[in-house]
Every structure is written in C-alpha cells, then in structure tokens.
Amino acid sequence: MRRSAILFVFMLLIIIPAAARTTQWYTYENGMKAANSMEKPVIIDFYADWCGPCIAMENSTYPDSRVVSEMKDFIAIKVDTQVRIDIESKYKIAYYPTIIFLDPKGSEISRHVGYLGPEDMVKTIRDSRGKLPKEAPGFQAFYPILATALLILRKRINE
C-alpha cells in the first residue's frame, strides 16, 4: 500500500504542473542562451507598451491554454522595443506586434506582423513548426523517457 501511495504522489507531481502551465518568458539574452543549450526553436514577441494590439495579445492570446500548449516546445522571448532598440534594429522591426520564429540555431524561419487571436496564433505556431529543419531534436522526447522511468519505478516498487 505504501509503495502505491509513493507512486501516486510521484505521478501527481508530474501531472499537476502540466495542467497549470503558463508560458515561461525570457529576456532576449537569457532566451537565446536557453535555446542554444536546449536546442529548441524560439518565438520572439516584439511589442510596445502603448500598442493596443500588443496589449490585447498579452491579455487574451498568450494566456489561452491552446497557445500555451503550442508554445511549450519553443523558448519564448519578449522584447520591449522601447527599451531594446538594438534588438528591434537587429531584426528590422517596423510594426507592432511582430512575432519572429527562429530555428534552434537562431536563423529566422518565419515572422508575423500584427495582432493574432488565439486560434490564429495556434495556426501560425504550427505553420512555423512545420518549417523547422528536420534534423531539429524531437519535441516530444521527454515523454517516452518519463514513461520508461515510471515503468521501471513501478516494477521496482512491486518487487
């Protein structure tokens, strides 16, 4: 009985955070380092505090559970263009919001200029994911490893 309780608690620790996910946003430098070390593609959101469509995306698009789910395979970076003019210039941003997708090596694969509601954002993310190089690491590699670890743990508990 005690072993079953331990396994149950372990599984809850995995499931509960997955149900309450939000997007982890990085600063530009930290996000690019994370993308490089984890070999993950990047979404960069260029915004301005005074931009109405940017505020609307912040309040309705990014918190949407469908968008959060699609973004989990990416490193998400926010760039305040009023503060980071250098980054805005580097990517030649002219309008807000602009969302740029980079492959794991930092090369641009696509961009979208203008407001995206949740459904359009999900479509845009999926379209950009489809443009990633085929040699990019698998996005779902974590789950087979986790399942294998749980099976081994279960076997050991039952022995």
Q: Phi then psi for 136, rounded to 5 degrees?
A: -60, 145
pLDDT at 96: 96
CA neighbor of 81 nearest in space, from 49, 119, 112, 104: 49
In a domain, residue 158? The reply is no
pLDDT at 136: 46
The helix (run of H) or strand (run of E) holding residue 102 is: strand 98-102
In a domain, residue 70? The reply is yes
Ranges under pLDDT 50 in the chain: 16-19, 136-139
Among 32, 43, 54, 125, the one annotated catalytic? 54
pLDDT at 145: 64
For the chain, how many structural domains are there in total?
1
The label of the residue with tokens 């505090």 reads 49
Q: Residue 74 catalytic?
A: no
In a domain, residue 13? The reply is no
What are the distances in angstroms from CA 126 to CA 8, 68, 99, 152?
A: 34, 13, 14, 34
In a domain, residue 116? The reply is yes
**8 Å CB contact between 45 and 78:** yes
Residue 144, domain extent: 22-153
Does the pTM exceed 0.85?
A: no
In a domain, residue 77? The reply is yes
In a domain, residue 159? The reply is no
- CB contact burial 96-113 (16+ within 10 A = b; e otherwise): bbbbbbbbbeeeebbbbe
Task: CATH number of the domain at 75, please.
Answer: 3.40.30.10
pLDDT at 139: 47
Among 42, 51, 116, 121, the one annotated catalytic? 51
In a domain, residue 7? The reply is no
Q: Residue 134 catalytic?
A: no
In a domain, residue 2? The reply is no
Helical spans, DSSP H, in the chain: 2-19, 28-38, 52-56, 65-71, 85-90, 118-130, 142-158
